[in-house]
């Protein structure tokens, strides 16, 4: 898989191959400089490569070379992870980093965005049927999603999966994003996936979750009520997907219940699903 690109781009192998469900990666060097060779295995990941190229190193790892499903990326520092900041009790600093990276990714660009981006609303088509089938808090999640898409604002091309494992430290270049989904949707959604990080225990602790929401609102300048509404919708969708894959729906189901419990007017919304 990698041999043609090693020859084409003058690369030397610098580590073991990394295998993920959606891509293959190989640490390499080019002219002595560390880099990462990545071959995407799914259309959505190939689209993500195009988005990375379009970002041109602004808020994201720089694409050094590209050919179809394969890209050569600048390589992050081995210990550069936002999870480390959480382990050190620096969650406010970590969320500020996420906000800064998002701002860089969302900045206007002169070149046209890559075509073929999925719409965020397409991701949520599985939620209403699941709410009818399974009931419970998924009704609230489906209602929240309908409200959000009924009055969507500030739409743009999003990373779509901007959590702590997808923002790495690149030395002098600082914190940068990797592995985008490249989905078209409302800007505020960009700050929702990170609310489930850095681990399930944090997401299930309501006081910690509230703190993360507060820090996100302060750092990213987003509306707290709408952020919670997106969290309610997203938690329900994740629970749906995990259930359909035969996996336990936690912590998403508990997060959805915690948010729904404080959602104004939730009780009045439920009867139409009864």
pLDDT of residue 267 exceeding 90? no
Report pTM.
0.92
Indicate the average pLDDT of the chain: 91
- Residue 231, number of CB atoms within 10 A of its CB: 26
C-alpha distances in angstroms, 16 versus 23, 25, 28? 14, 9, 9
User: Lowest-confidence range among 66-70, 115-119, 259-263?
Assistant: 259-263
Same domain, 31 and 101: no
The interaxial angle of helices 224-244 and 206-220, nearest 10 deg, is: 130
Cβ-contact 41, 22 below 8 angstroms: yes
At residue 272, does pLDDT exceed 70? no
What CATH number corresponds to the domain at position 168?
3.90.1200.10
Q: Are 15 and 129 members of one domain? A: no
Closest by CA to 28, choosing from 40, 12, 5, is: 12
pLDDT above 60 for 48 = yes
Are 141 and 226 members of one domain?
A: yes
Is 161 known to be catalytic? yes
The number of residues in the chain equals 274
- Do both 172 and 216 map to the same domain? yes
Q: What's the mean pLDDT in 48-61?
A: 97
Instruction: Over range 55-79, report the average pLDDT.
Output: 95
CATH of the domain at 49: 3.30.200
- Indicate if 10 and 134 belong to the same structural domain: no
Share of the chain above pLDDT 90, in %: 76
**pLDDT at 238 > cutoff 90:** yes
Q: Which of 91, 122, 126, 161 is catalytic?
A: 161
pLDDT confidence of 274, banded at 50, 70, 90? very low
pLDDT band at residue 263 using 50, 70 and 90 as cut-offs: confident
Domain that includes residue 21, residue range: 3-74
For residue 3, the model assigns a pLDDT of: 95
Distance of CA 5 to the CA centre of its chain: 28
Write the DSSP symbol of residue 166: G
Distance of CA 130 to the CA centre of its chain: 23
Same domain for 67 and 102: no
Same domain, residue pair 58 and 131? no
Q: Determine the Cα–Cα distance for residues 118 and 44; give it in Å rounded to an integer.
A: 9
Helix (H, G, I), strand (E, B) or coil at 137: coil
Same domain, 8 and 119: no
pLDDT at position 271 is 39
Q: Of the ranges 13-17, 144-148, 197-201, 210-214, which one carries the lowest mean pLDDT score?
A: 197-201
């Amino acid at each position: 898989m990698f041999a043609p690109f090693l020859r084409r781009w003058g690369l030397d192998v610098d580590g073991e191959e990394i295998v993920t469900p959606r891509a293959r990666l190989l640490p390499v060097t080019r002219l002595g400089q560390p880099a990462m060779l990545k071959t995407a295995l799914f259309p959505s990941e190939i689209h993500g490569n195009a988005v990375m190229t379009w970002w041109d190193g602004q808020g994201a790892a720089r694409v050094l070379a590209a050919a179809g499903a394969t890209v050569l990326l600048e390589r992050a520092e081995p210990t550069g992870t936002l999870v480390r900041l959480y382990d050190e009790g620096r969650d406010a600093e970590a969320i500020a980093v996420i906000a800064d990276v998002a701002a860089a990714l969302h900045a206007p660009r002169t070149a046209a965005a890559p075509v073929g981006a999925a719409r965020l609303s397409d991701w949520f088509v599985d939620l209403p049927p699941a709410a009818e089938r399974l009931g419970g808090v998924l009704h609230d999640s489906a209602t929240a999603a309908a409200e959000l898409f009924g009055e969507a604002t500030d739409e743009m091309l999003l990373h779509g999966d901007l959590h702590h494992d997808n923002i790495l430290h690149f030395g002098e270049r600082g914190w940068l994003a990797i592995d985008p989904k490249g989905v078209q949707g409302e800007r505020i959604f960009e700050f929702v996936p990170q609310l489930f990080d850095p681990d399930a225990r944090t997401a299930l602790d309501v006081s910690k979750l509230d703190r993360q929401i507060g820090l996100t609102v302060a750092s990213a300048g987003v509306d707290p009520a709408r952020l919670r509404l997106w969290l309610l919708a997203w938690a329900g969708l994740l629970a749906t997907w995990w259930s359909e894959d035969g996996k336990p729906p936690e912590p998403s189901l508990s997060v959805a219940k915690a948010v729904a419990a404080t959602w104004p007017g939730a009780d009045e919304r439920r009867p139409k699903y009864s």
